[in-house]
Structure 1
């Protein structure tokens, strides 16, 4: 009997360590192996569910404090994408199962969040050492295999660096996000050795480089914003020299990188030349401005049910749209989305999609800001990293969909889960310490 109990305890411990390991290595091949991050999500969710069922089977009940409002707030938040799809389809009486594929990734993260909090696991202690490795592996892969479906090496003006299954927009934004996470993770858990600092700094530099050579401006605006946030919140003693360094880095990168210079100059020119009352030619930035205007118009036509993915075909060549958008621009939005996370979801699911996609940014932001000013010193450091990640994701989400692809939805669902659980754990530990001191 005792041997059986010991074996069960060991099995549970091994499963818990396995879950932590899966989450820690989840970023490793996210941009180089198709299906990697989705496989990690499914395996982690299954392990978390098994852990919860094992605890219940032993006659114990998982210890989730009923008064912990933030935990239950995030449990509800992770159900909202699926609920939004269901409500929109119910209003339209048009049920399509594949529409739940990406939104369900957040639902699958729910048991992981509960187990990480219940077991008091902080997976970021290990994950921050994996993220730079992920970027370096990606750099090696694209260097050894430079050809991609988006352009050719003999046409450098239109060549877009990426891997075989990732579009340049996603490739650029995720490398920028992971690179900035490398920078913000320096000295996250005490003072890092010089070798670890070099390793993380290299990850940051290579991540920014990969984002630039992707030719994708998605997420570039996050770089100065997150660097300012990092210097203002983490480097309070060195703000002036850091600000000067940021300006020198930005100006130097602009004048030394032909790709960066060309892409930024084109973006500025396209913004200046955009027409609000006459027809616009197809341009990258101009199309995005037109997409937003189209999304607002379509939302006003069907605010409660939305149109699903392709339900607004009847509005193509509508006089309201023809005033500023070419037919090709309208058809692009019909078949490929609006290149904006919130706009795409509010057209697809109406007000439910608008609320759901907005909540995925707003609620974590409020929690991270609260942790920044109301938590322990360790929680504050993690909150800076979490806010940097969220800023990158939000800015990227304004120029492309960040939660609609299956693999990006899986990646962000796991990252949200790990950030939130780590902060909840440190808040719980801090509250426990305060209670012990008071008694």
Structure 2
């Protein structure tokens, strides 16, 4: 049902934008309850059209303008930028055109895990490597809520091989570039390119930061299935990537022999865990080169979120909007509940062709009253829009708080 091929996109997009795109929800989100009409009008959008035609610095003053433009242009991609100190369409005439507000955003892509995933590579994904994204959501959501106190966080599947995170709290949207960099650096533990062997260094002789300990615990809960069973990181011909992180030559040689005595990543890891723990806890720290935190470093290097922190640092960086249709897969970029991320399966996300088929199927047996329902409620997109509605309801509480605070300020003498 609803099989999709990229050649169908230009035929399907007009129907999608006419019948399914949640315009009112979308504009309600980006207006943030703001009574100032300039707030939305100062937001930058960009459209990518068929043939790689890129339209940047687009602005819309209301839902009707936005809806009319989408239906007319049928972009294959919509990107959302910052709110500026003027209309983006007038940026060339302004001498001080600068972003003043922007969600704190994160972009995580499975291609950045190609050095540790063994099931797929490039644009390909499967149930096994998608577990990296599940771990990433759990770790980042915990850090953003517990360490920073954010509560208005929108998680979105990119439509193919990644996830986007939009932190929408008022405090997050007003962060300076320097503060965004500080948050991004705080959350980045894995760094260094393909030529760097050791990508995580905790310097853990005197203990590890509580946020890192929390991340390690989350990873540890699923480490056996993700890294040892699914990715087989200690499999034949693969264990050197792990052993190369051991700095002490005698310990590394001992572990090399241990690897050859066993025939599974699980038993090899259990032996490695035991030998490394004994070694780092019994040797004088001044004489050894391997940190007490080495086991945590290994788990973090192989499973901690790989962040593109340039996206998070820059206020003027654009990010793909929720509810776009991915042009290669046809899947919708849908919001999902981070607390139910274990149940989220990207291969079950509906394609645009599937949704249109669902409408036809529903309509064929519906009563006249049922046919009057909004089209998205006739499809599996309804579940995803419900997630978005829950997010908006929570966001609305912060709007009310802001309005009360502004009201109080205006009454002070």
Higher-Rg structure is 2
* Length-normalised TM-score, structure 2: 0.25
Give the strand-richer structure, 1 or 2.
Answer: 2
**Which structure's residues are more often helix, by fraction?**
1
TM-score of the two chains, using structure 1 as the length reference: 0.24
| Structure showing greater relative contact order (alpha-carbon pairs closer than 8 Å, 6 or more residues apart) | 2
